Amino acid sequence: MLNDAETLKPVRNHHEQYDGTGYPDRLTNSQIPLGTRILAVADAYDAMSITMKNGSPATQGVCPTCVTKMFRIGKS
Residue pLDDT, tens place only, 5-46 = 778 888 899 999 989 999 999 999 999 999 999 999 888 888
Phi first, then psi, for residue 57 (nearest 5°) are: -65, 145
The pLDDT-based confidence of 68 (bands split at 50, 70, 90) is confident
Between 43 and 69, the higher pLDDT residue: 43
Q: What span, in angstroms and rounded, lies between the C-alpha atoms of 55 and 57?
A: 7
pLDDT score for 74: 72
Q: Which domain holds residue 30?
A: 5-75
Q: What span, in angstroms and rounded, lies between the C-alpha atoms of 4 and 16?
A: 20
Q: What span, in angstroms and rounded, lies between the C-alpha atoms of 67 and 43?
A: 13
Chain segment 49-66, per-residue pLDDT in tens? 776 666 666 656 667 777
Q: What span, in angstroms and rounded, lies between the C-alpha atoms of 39 and 72?
A: 18
- Bridge partner residues of 37 (DSSP): none
Domains contained in the chain, number: 1
